[in-house]
Amino acid sequence: MKLKLRSIVGASIGAFVLSIAAAGGANAISSSGTAYFDNGQPITANMWIQSLTAGTCGSFSSSAVMNVSPNYITNNTKFYQIGVGGISVSGVSASQVGGDPANLTWTNSNGARGSYMSGNVCGGWGMLYLGADVSASAFYYGNYRVATAHV
Amino acid sequence: MSFSLKSGSFRTALCTTLVFVFCATGCAPNGEGGSKGDGPELVADALALRDANGLFRMPEGERLAEGDAFTTAIYARSDPDGKLAEGTRGAAAKKPVADSTDPSLTTAWSAAALNLPGGQAPVLPDKQLTADAEVAVLWYYADAVRILGRSQEADRSILDRLESIDLGAIRGHPYLVWRLWDTYESLGVPQPREVTEVLISASMGNLPTTPESVFDTQAILEISSLLNAPPPVPGGLAKHFGDLLTSNAVTEDVTVASVLRSLTLLGRADESRRYLEDNVLSKRIDSDNGFVRPLVSHQGTIEGSYLMSRLLDQSFPEATNEKTTETLITSIESDSVDVTTKLKAMVALRRAGDARWQDYRHISKKVTTSLPSAVTPSQMVAYLDTVDALVQLDSSPKFPRLEKFNAPDINDPVVSRQAFLALSKASYFSNTSEIASWFPEQQKNLPALVREPSEPYLLYFSGLAAMANAPLSGLNSNDFTQATENLKDLQGCGSLKKLYRISTQPGSPCSLIISVQLMAAPGAYTFGRTN
């Protein structure tokens, strides 16, 4: 009975590690999502991040993009990890949301069509997987739309 | 064996720990745990403001009305015991009617009815254009002179005017005929026989359901009381009136006072007395001036619904019902509604998820083709009000050019607000980029203006709305974050959680206008993910 339990636990952990490897690909993972304004204009959220292993750091890039000029466009990038330890981000110019170093936001205005972030991110010492959510939002012709991407 | 057991326990504990850690940091991979931000609470705010007609009320208009002498006098004249007039007299001395800048006949009548110090003698207005208006002014005048004991001083002119009233024109309205009859009474002049006969022959077949039928019923009861005759009114009238009061179905003071007077005439003075005690004296006396505050009916409007639809956007269907769309369509099809209001109703209908808005696209197309080629500064507010709705319906209007104006004085709140409006809505003009270079003084003052909420608040809100379209201000994302962080102090009022208040005072009302305006301020709201 105990042996069976151990086998199940071992199999679960093994399957989990395999799934991470599959999701992570060889070097990087990326995702994008699009929402639309009433007149059909799209707003797109993009995320690209290097695959990381425990205690290592890698590059990331995220963006909120439109084809036309909104009143403002915001890129909110929030990192998360499965595992233990703190996430740290460096080399990026953005504001922390609520004092959270893994939750960053940047708004471009005055007709800018995009808001971009790139830098380095390090996972915690017990990290098994590090991912991110990007929320691209814009105010355009009196309407607010949000597009998201998740890795 | 014992090692194996320990090893198994260790693995089980590790697994449990890992599962816990995974859940603590990774079970909500959307970062916000699938949160929709301010959305759900904004929908809750909207539902709290939805009226029985399906439209949405504007909380900024729901402040208590100031007590006034006329409302007080209306109730005092319906008070079986005269307590209200007695009680008001002392308190009203805080603001004598003589201080009023309103020289109207009703003010003089109110002062007389309440026996207020400093009341002015009534002055008879010129002859009115319609018979009902003429009856009204003659009655107020005569009643005032009766109360003041000056009936004998009334000159012949009022009698000439009384006699010139066409009885045939008011014959079907017992209340007007009774007022005519009572005016003669006030002046101490015998009533013409035909006036009395019209009143005696009047009767009510059905229970009154409109203000006019309530007044007519009172008139029949008044004359029956004077004649000491049983009133020709339907059975169950007293109960019906009592139900009207307890259900708050009557929302206008003159009508409520008429119901109270009728109850007294029906021998139910105790009910009138109780209503006055419980609903007027104990709840509606304005402590600042001692007068009764008038009833104010707060109803949902097209404007409120339009603004709510803009704020909730794709969540608006969660706050609407069938009544909402019915009322919106009625407004769009009404001949008495102006075109901008029709556009706003169409936007709300569209946001409510009702495809029938497209049946009325001829309205928006007509507005699109009639847009001017240029907008002057004095036309700007009205133009933006219309075009802001229009672009929600027509994706490609040809925007006009905004004619240049200057706003060098940062201490002039009117000019400054106009400048910030032009900046924040520059995309609705063909010369968008050019406008962004205007008003350098105002733009350079923006960092100081938006730092924290301060008086004048309307200027502060305008500055926030403009800060993302002011390249000369030097503001960037960090400044937006700081500005909207301070703005959170203004969010919520009473049961409404996410609308913004008009000032930092905790008791200040929320405003739909300002809440929508602040959508242009990055970070003012945390909207959910919608794709």
Contacts of B469 in chain A (CB under 8 A): 71, 109-111
CA–CA gap between residue B508 and residue B60 (Å, rounded): 9
Q: Which residues pair with A100 in a beta bridge?
A: A97
Q: Would you state the pLDDT for residue B399?
A: 97
Cα angle value B166/B148/B153 (rounded, 5°): 60
Contacts of A81 in chain B (CB under 8 A): 25-26
Smallest CA–CA separation between B522 and chain A, in Å?
A: 7
Q: With contact defined as beta carbons under 8 Å apart, do B15 and A9 qualify?
A: yes
CA-wise closest residue to B121 among B93, B97, B90: B97
Residue in A with minimal Cα distance to B22: A82
Question: How many CB pairs (< 8 A) connect A and B?
Answer: 127
Contacts of B471 in chain A (CB under 8 A): 110
Smallest CA–CA separation between A145 and chain B, in Å?
A: 7
Q: At A127, list the tokens.
A: 């990290």
Q: Average pLDDT, stretch A97-119?
A: 91
Contacts of B25 in chain A (CB under 8 A): 80-84
Nearest to B30 among A111, A133, A137 (CB): A133
Percentage of chain A modeled with pLDDT above 70: 83
- Cβ contact (<8 Å) for B29 and A131? yes
Q: Tell me: the pLDDT tens digits for A30-57?
A: 999 999 998 889 999 999 999 887 778 9
Q: Phi/psi at B512 (nearest 5 deg)?
A: -70, -35
Three-state secondary structure call for residue B500? strand
Smallest CA–CA separation between A130 and chain B, in Å?
A: 9
Smallest CA–CA separation between B529 and chain A, in Å?
A: 5
- Cβ contact (<8 Å) for A126 and B530? no
Which of B343, B421, B477 is the mutation pick for testing A, counting most A CBs within 10 A? B477
Low-confidence ranges of chain B (pLDDT < 50): 1-34, 93, 96, 98-102, 530-531
Q: Which residues pair with B218 in a beta bridge?
A: none
Residue in A with minimal Cα distance to B5: A2
Smallest CA–CA separation between A149 and chain B, in Å?
A: 9
Q: Would you state the pLDDT for residue B14?
A: 39
- Cβ contact (<8 Å) for A109 and B8? no
- Cβ contact (<8 Å) for A81 and B480? no
- Cβ contact (<8 Å) for A133 and B31? yes
Nearest to B29 among A9, A146, A150 (CB): A150
Smallest CA–CA separation between A47 and chain B, in Å?
A: 13
Q: Would you state the pLDDT for residue B119?
A: 66
For residue B309, give every residue at least 6 positions away whose Cβ sits within 8 Å of its Cβ, in sequence order, or none: B316, B347, B348, B350, B351, B352
Contacts of A113 in chain B (CB under 8 A): none
For residue B269, give every residue at least 6 positions away whose Cβ sits within 8 Å of its Cβ, in sequence order, or none: B80, B263
- Cβ contact (<8 Å) for B26 and A145? no
Q: Residue B133: how many CB atoms within 10 A of its CB?
A: 12
Q: Would you state the pLDDT for residue A8?
A: 35
Q: At B346, list the tokens.
A: 């169409």
pLDDT at A9 over 50: no
Per DSSP, the residues of B416-431 read: HHHHHHHHHTGGGSTT
Give exposure, B392-428, as e/b (b: 16+ Cβ within 10 Å): bbbeebebbebeeeebeebeeeebbbbbbbbbbbbbb
Domain positions in chain A: 27-150
Q: Tell me: the pLDDT tens digits for A69-78?
A: 999 999 999 9
- Cβ contact (<8 Å) for B527 and A137? yes
Q: Tell me: the pLDDT tens digits for A122-139?
A: 988 888 889 999 999 999
Q: Would you state the pLDDT for residue B438?
A: 98
Contacts of B529 in chain A (CB under 8 A): 135, 146, 148
Q: With contact defined as beta carbons under 8 Å apart, do B531 and A33 qualify?
A: yes
Nearest to A72 among B388, B433, B522 (CB): B522
Smallest CA–CA separation between A27 and chain B, in Å?
A: 21
- Cβ contact (<8 Å) for B519 and A142? yes
Q: Average pLDDT, stretch A61-82?
A: 95
CA-wise closest residue to B431 among B386, B399, B397: B399
Residue in B with minimal Cα distance to A139: B520
CA–CA gap between residue A21 and residue A14 (Å, rounded): 11
For residue B494, give every residue at least 6 positions away whose Cβ sits within 8 Å of its Cβ, in sequence order, or none: B510
Helix or strand holding residue B363 (H, E)? helix B361-369
Residue in B with minimal Cα distance to A150: B30
Contacts of B523 in chain A (CB under 8 A): 74, 107
Q: Which residues pair with A63 in a beta bridge?
A: A46, A116
Which of A6, A44, A110 is the mutation pick for testing B, counting most B CBs within 10 A? A110
Q: Would you state the pLDDT for residue B90?
A: 55
CA–CA gap between residue B95 and residue B117 (Å, rounded): 10
Query: Regarding the domain delimited by A27-150, which CATH topology (the fold level of the hierarchy) does it fall under?
Result: Immunoglobulin-like (2.60.40)
CA–CA gap between residue B350 and residue B338 (Å, rounded): 19
Side-by-side strand order, sheet with A95-97: A95-97, A100-109, A72-84, A126-140, A143-150
Q: Phi/psi at B348 (nearest 5 deg)?
A: -65, -40
Q: Would you state the pLDDT for residue A127?
A: 84
CA–CA gap between residue B445 and residue B409 (Å, rounded): 10
Residue in A with minimal Cα distance to B475: A109
Per DSSP, the residues of B442-485 read: HHHHHHHHTSS--SSHHHHHHHHHHGGG-GGG---HHHHHHHHH
Q: With contact defined as beta carbons under 8 Å apart, do B342 and B332 qualify?
A: yes
Contacts of B22 in chain A (CB under 8 A): 82-83, 128
Which of A77, A109, A134 is the mutation pick for testing B, counting most B CBs within 10 A? A109
CA–CA gap between residue A13 and residue A58 (Å, rounded): 24
Residue in A with minimal Cα distance to B465: A71
- Cβ contact (<8 Å) for B26 and A83? yes
- Cβ contact (<8 Å) for A72 and B468? yes
- Cβ contact (<8 Å) for B25 and A81? yes
Nearest to B391 among A71, A109, A141 (CB): A141
Q: Tell me: the pLDDT tens digits for B359-395?
A: 999 999 999 999 999 999 999 999 999 999 999 998 7
The residue type found at A132 is A
